[in-house]
């Protein structure tokens, strides 16, 4: 499962790399516009917006294609094509001589990210033990953040190069991870649940043995039998099922958490952090601040490995979203101070608020959203649910990424007020929309979401694991004997 999460490494690496290289003079010399006043080449704001936002078109197309590939040919096939797109995108960017070629390379590379955020949560949700699903679900965000940390360190090391090697080295390093993933792909077992959906029972048993190495032969067979019984006739459904009476709540939850993940403002620090630090007079420290911010985020994601299954999904999202709002309001408050009155301490407080926002985002919405999506979708429409949720996420990210440079130009740090209000609205909606599903198997999740109980009270509903349901079906006479024995002993 960690191998599958590695597919998201290039997602974070690309975001972190471009966030840094667009602040390099060597990159602006190659793709910028000459300013006769400053006698320097610089990227105009419209080109920054285009280079940052249009790749999300590729991400949407990748998500759509991945859903079809993962459903028809399996999760491993999706990973194979993900790697191929990574190679093409990275090669186009590294060899680019025009902004159009560079942007095209980013669009293709982002198709890879769209595939990763669709197939990885599906695979992890299907293969991880229920009690560890939250932890494994957070590893995708861990790899995204690790990619950002590594890229920020690389750009920090190459920022001083005056030749185009300064930006080509970090961009070219995106060729490394796909090669590693492709080499190790034959060792990754296909999802047993997907195999069962294709009636490939023997292959499912074989792959489940690989995933449950410490389980005995009987335990593996029992788990396969119970999954078959619990998911009888659970072949793939059509698009209309996403919004029928049985599934529309589940689809809505998946869409909401991925929308909430992006609308809360993460595009600001991750994609424009370096540029913002430079605009506040931290030209020599901007890249260092970017490194520190990414390291802090990595620490936060690592913490979620224990908190998401201990505290749960709802507390993580509610607490994290509230603290993110607080950090944005602090940023907006500092941005409201006239520039000539803003002290050095005030500027450093703005930097700290951005870093802490990234910390709380990585502790909550960044990883937990993927966990909720992976466990919410019904088996019959899992790929389609993830696909539509990711497309909504992509569209939201496109809007925020495209608009952020203009907002920064117009109101500067006061954009903190905008995102602060949005975060509060998302937190309120989360209270009513997001269920608590920690420690539940996917079959128990089905029972919860079909119970008709209000979402915020689902944690109180008692459920049965697939194994227990199957065991009752296999041994009905034993249950009758126990009941009769109890009646006799009680004198009834």
Residue 365: its pLDDT value, please? 93
324 in a structural domain: yes
pLDDT exceeds cutoff 70 at 482: no
377, 381, 382, 387 alpha-carbon torsion, rounded to 10°: -100
Decide if 422 is inside a domain.
yes
**Alpha-carbon span 191 to 210, nearest angstrom:** 11
Q: Does the structure show a pLDDT above 70 at 43?
A: yes
Q: Is the pLDDT of residue 224 over 60?
A: yes
pLDDT score for 489: 46
> How far apart are the C-alpha atoms of 84 and 178, rounded to whole Å?
8
Residue 125 lies in a domain: yes
Q: Which tens digit of pLDDT belongs to each residue from 425-442?
A: 999 999 999 888 887 777
How many CB atoms sit inside 10 A of residue 254's CB? 28
Q: What is the mean pLDDT of residues 261-290?
A: 84
Distance CA 488, CA 492 (A): 6
Tens-digit pLDDT profile for residues 47-91 = 887 888 788 889 888 988 888 898 889 989 999 999 999 999 999
Q: Can you say how many angstroms the Cα of residue 314 is from the centroid of all Cα atoms in its chain?
A: 17
Whole-number mean pLDDT of the chain? 83
Count of CB atoms within 10 A of residue 212's CB? Answer: 15
- pLDDT value at residue 232: 56
Q: How many C-beta atoms surround the C-beta of residue 185 within 10 A?
A: 16
Domain range enclosing 45: 2-188+236-447
Query: Could you tell me if residue 259 is inside a domain?
Result: yes
Which one of 273-282, 324-333, 365-374 scores highest in mean pLDDT? 324-333
Residue 316 domain-assigned (yes or no): yes
The pLDDT of residue 461: 67
**pLDDT tens column, 392-402:** 888 898 888 88
pLDDT at 26 over 80: yes
**CATH code at position 90:** 1.20.1250.20
173 occurs within a structural domain: yes
What is d(CA 440, CA 445) in angstroms, rounded to the nearest whole number? 6
pLDDT at residue 485 greater than cutoff 60 = no
Give the pLDDT mean for 207-235. Answer: 73
**Are 323 and 339 spatial neighbours (Cβ–Cβ below 8 Å)?**
no
Place of tokens 């269920």: 435
Q: Do the beta carbons of residue 432 and residue 407 sit within 8 Å?
A: no
Classify residue 491: in a domain, yes or no. Answer: no
Number of domains, the chain:
1
Percent of the chain with pLDDT over 70: 90
- The percentage of residues in the chain with a pLDDT greater than 90, rounded to a whole number, is 27
In a domain, 214, yes or no: no
Residue 96 corresponds to which tokens in the numbers above? Answer: 């680019």
Give residue-wise pLDDT tens across range 130-183: 667 777 777 888 888 888 889 888 988 888 888 889 999 999 999 999 999 999
- Residue 42 pLDDT > 70: yes
């Amino acid at each position: 499962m960690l191998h599958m999460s590695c597919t998201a490494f290039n997602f974070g690496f690309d975001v972190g790399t471009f966030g840094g290289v667009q602040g390099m003079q060597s990159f602006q010399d190659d793709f910028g516009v000459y300013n006769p006043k400053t006698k320097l080449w610089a990227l105009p704001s419209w080109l920054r917006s285009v280079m940052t936002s249009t790749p999300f078109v590729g991400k949407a197309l990748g998500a759509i294609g991945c859903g079809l590939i993962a459903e028809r040919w399996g999760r491993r096939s999706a990973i194979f094509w993900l790697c191929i797109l990574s190679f093409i995108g990275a090669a186009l960017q590294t060899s680019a001589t025009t902004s159009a070629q560079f942007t095209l390379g980013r669009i293709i590379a982002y198709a890879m990210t769209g595939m990763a955020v669709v197939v990885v949560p599906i695979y992890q949700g299907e293969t991880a033990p229920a009690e560890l699903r939250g932890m494994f679900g957070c590893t995708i965000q861990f790899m995204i953040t690790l990619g950002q940390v590594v890229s920020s360190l690389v750009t920090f090391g190459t920022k001083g190069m005056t030749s185009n090697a300064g930006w080509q080295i970090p961009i070219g390093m995106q060729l490394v991870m796909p090669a590693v993933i492709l080499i190790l792909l034959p060792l990754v077992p296909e999802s047993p649940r997907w195999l069962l959906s294709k009636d490939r029972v023997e292959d499912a048993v074989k792959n489940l043995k690989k995933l449950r190495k410490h389980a005995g032969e009987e335990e593996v067979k029992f788990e396969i039998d119970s999954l078959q019984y619990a998911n009888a006739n659970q072949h793939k459904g059509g698009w209309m099922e996403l919004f029928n009476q049985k599934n529309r709540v589940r689809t809505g939850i998946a869409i909401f958490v991925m929308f909430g993940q992006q609308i809360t403002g993460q595009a600001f620090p991750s994609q424009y952090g370096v540029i913002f630090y430079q605009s506040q007079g931290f030209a020599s420290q901007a890249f260092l601040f970017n490194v520190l911010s990414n390291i802090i985020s990595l620490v936060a994601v690592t913490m979620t490995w224990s908190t998401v299954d201990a505290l749960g999904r709802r507390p993580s999202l509610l607490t994290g979203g509230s603290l993110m709002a607080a950090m944005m309001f602090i940023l907006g408050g500092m941005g409201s101070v006239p520039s000539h009155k803003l002290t050095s301490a005030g500027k450093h407080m703005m930097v700290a608020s951005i870093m802490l926002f990234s910390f709380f985002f990585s502790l909550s919405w960044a990883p937990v959203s993927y966990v909720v999506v992976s466990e919410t979708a019904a088996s019959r429409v899992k790929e389609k649910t993830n696909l539509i949720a990711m497309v909504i996420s992509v569209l939201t990210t496109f809007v925020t990424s495209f608009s952020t440079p203009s907002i920064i130009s117009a109101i500067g740090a006061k954009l903190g007020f905008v995102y602060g209000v949005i975060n509060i609205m998302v937190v309120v909606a989360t209270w009513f929309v997001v269920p608590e599903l920690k420690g539940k198997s996917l079959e128990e999740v089905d029972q919860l979401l079909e119970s008709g109980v209000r979402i915020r009270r689902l944690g109180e509903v008692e459920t049965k694991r697939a194994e227990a349901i199957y065991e009752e079906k296999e041994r009905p006479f034993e249950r009758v004997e126990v009941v009769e024995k109890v009646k006799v002993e009680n004198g009834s």
